[in-house]
Amino acid sequence: MAAVGHYALLFIGAALINNILLTRFIALCSFFGISNNMHTAIGMSAAVVFVMMMASTTTWIVWKVLLVPLGVGEFLYIPAFILIIAALVQFVEMYLRKSSPVLYRAMGIYLPLITTNCAVLAAATEVAKPGFFKMNMAYGYSLGEGLVYTLGVAVGYGFALIAFTALRERLDIAPVPKALKGNPMSFITAGLLSLAYVGLAGWFGL
Amino acid sequence: MKEFWSVFKHGISIENPLTVLMIGLCATLAVSTQVEGSLAMSVAVIFVLVMSNVLISAFRKFIPVEVRIPIFIVIIASFVTIVDLFLKAFSPDIYAVLGIWIPLIVVNCIILGRAEAFAYHNTVLLSIADGLGMGLGYTLVIVGMAFIREFFGTGQVKVMGATVLSMPSGYQGPNILLLFPGAFIVFGFIIALMRWLNDRSAARKEA
């Protein structure tokens, strides 16, 4: 029972309390870039969940099996992890194009963009090298914990992105002063949305 | 030389990476709670941006189009690692403030974006101008934002432990400026202001 609670807290902490978009400011480019349209937002969220899980698994293994035993982790982790993610994304894209055209059509165009989506690098680094996010609970993640954590981050990303897209679609038809129209108004809206997350800060000591 | 200046100025105003191109936002919003941290972040970004621009433009004839992105990323990641280790060794205080934002410069779209859009197609000299201009445009916005947030949020601005500017004593700033919603809202108004100024100068040119 305790184990279930532990995983649930890990998930909630990653998804809501330390939401990667609205409280950590990570991956904002995609947050503002693709939130014009609900269809795109859903596609991107799905692609992020998928790639993030794979990336975190790989970086966790590479960190434990390769970088730490060789003693090069501290100064090679940035190039190593970003290369892993870039290569992984490329493989996933090729594989999907061959084997699952439906899935490829749904998320193919988002895959290249994900390479530079900081959320993936951030989550993958946190899982392999805990403490990266300076969260109050610094774990030495086991692979299982790492995966639950990553799923939390990815779901939190998707949730915030889709909620924000819904708000933005409404804003497009709202009367807004000329200088504020478009992006400035989106930022202010995001600020109000993230205000909701301030209320969650510190829950369960996370 | 004239071209050098025009490229340089582009980065600051018309193509300002933050307020116009809207790239590289994550670190900007997160770091801009303190003027000092923002300055350090700007220096790190300018260093990585100029150095990677130089290297990529110098080797642009040898980098095959098909694998250019991985090559760019490796070049950028190397410079980011230099900054990461340098700060960790020589100024742990600043490293503690910037924390994860240093490694995340690798995926900062400004740098990869300039490598792809500018350095890969231009000479070394122009790429330096582009790096400096973009870097300075970045610095102006992030430091300006940090100033607003720190000054009005805490009532004083501190650099290197010395108070540079302070409100009358007894001032109590709105805490929200320092929290994450403050970052979004202040930034929204800054873009609106920049846009209003750009529109006005464009209208004046036409008249």
Fill in the amino acid letter for A178.
K
Domain ranges of chain B: 2-206
Cβ distance B183 to A23 less than 8 Å, yes or no, reads no
Say what the pLDDT of residue A135 is: 47
For residue B117, what is the enclosing H or E element?
A: helix B109-117
Quote the CA–CA distance of B194 and A184 in Å, as a whole number: 10
Say what the pLDDT of residue A138 is: 45
From chain A, the residues in CB contact with B77 under 8 A are: 78-79, 82-83
Which of B38, B100, B114, B186 to substitute to test the interface with A, most A CBs within 10 Å?
Answer: B100
ipTM of this complex prediction, to 2 decimal places: 0.75
Which of A84, A194, A197, A200 to substitute to test the interface with B, most B CBs within 10 Å?
Answer: A194
Say what the pLDDT of residue B46 is: 92
Quote the CA–CA distance of A174 and A183 in Å, as a whole number: 14
Provide the terminal-to-terminal Cα distance of chain B, rounded to the nearest Å.
Answer: 30
Among A45-49, A120-124, B97-101, the range of highest mean pLDDT = A45-49
From chain B, the residues in CB contact with A185 under 8 A are: 188
Does residue A81 contact residue A59 with C-beta atoms inside 8 Å? yes
From chain A, the residues in CB contact with B74 under 8 A are: 79, 83
From chain B, the residues in CB contact with A191 under 8 A are: 181-185, 188
Say what the pLDDT of residue B51 is: 92
From chain B, the residues in CB contact with A79 under 8 A are: 74, 77-78, 81
Cβ distance B195 to A184 less than 8 Å, yes or no, reads yes
For chain B, say whether A147 makes contact (Cβ under 8 Å).
Answer: no
Rounded to an integer, the average pLDDT of A149-173 is: 89
Q: What dihedral do alpha carbons B66, B68, B70, B76 form, nearest 10°?
A: 180
* Secondary structure in 3-state letters for chain A: CHHHHHHHHHHHHHHHHCCCCCCCCCCHHHHHHCCCCHHHHHHHHHHHHHHHHHHHHHHHHHHHHHHHHHCCHHHHHHHHHHHHHHHHHHHHHHHHHHHCHHHHHHHHHHHHHHHCCHHHHHHHHHHHCCCCCCCCCCCCCCHHHHHHHHHHHHHHHHHHHHHHHHHHHHHCCCCCCHHHCCHHHHHHHHHHHHHHHHCCCCHHHC
Q: What is the mean pLDDT of each run of 10 residues along chain B (207 residues)?
A: 79 75 78 86 91 90 82 88 89 81 79 84 88 89 88 79 73 78 87 83 80
Cβ distance B26 to A117 less than 8 Å, yes or no, reads no
pLDDT-wise least confident of A107-121, A126-140, B154-168: A126-140
**Pick the residue with more confidence: A121 or B79?**
B79
Give pLDDT tens digits for A163-206. 999 998 888 888 888 878 878 888 888 888 888 888 887 676 65
User: pLDDT-based confidence at A116, cuts 50/70/90?
Assistant: low
Residue of B nearest to A195 (CA): B181
> In angstroms, what separates the C-alpha of A32 from chain B's closest C-alpha?
9
Say what the pLDDT of residue A127 is: 76
Q: How far is CA A36 from the centre of its chain?
A: 19
Say what the pLDDT of residue B190 is: 86
For chain B, say whether A187 makes contact (Cβ under 8 Å).
Answer: yes
Give pLDDT tens digits for A58-80. 888 888 888 777 877 777 777 88
Does residue A158 contact residue A48 with C-beta atoms inside 8 Å? yes
Phi-psi region of A201 (alpha: psi -120 to 50; beta: other; left: phi over 0): beta
Say what the pLDDT of residue A16 is: 83
DSSP letter assigned to residue B32: T
Say what the pLDDT of residue B62 is: 87
Say what the pLDDT of residue B54 is: 92
Quote the CA–CA distance of B89 and A38 in Å, as a whole number: 46
Residue of B nearest to A28 (CA): B26
Which of A17, A19, A22, A29 to substitute to test the interface with B, most B CBs within 10 Å?
Answer: A29
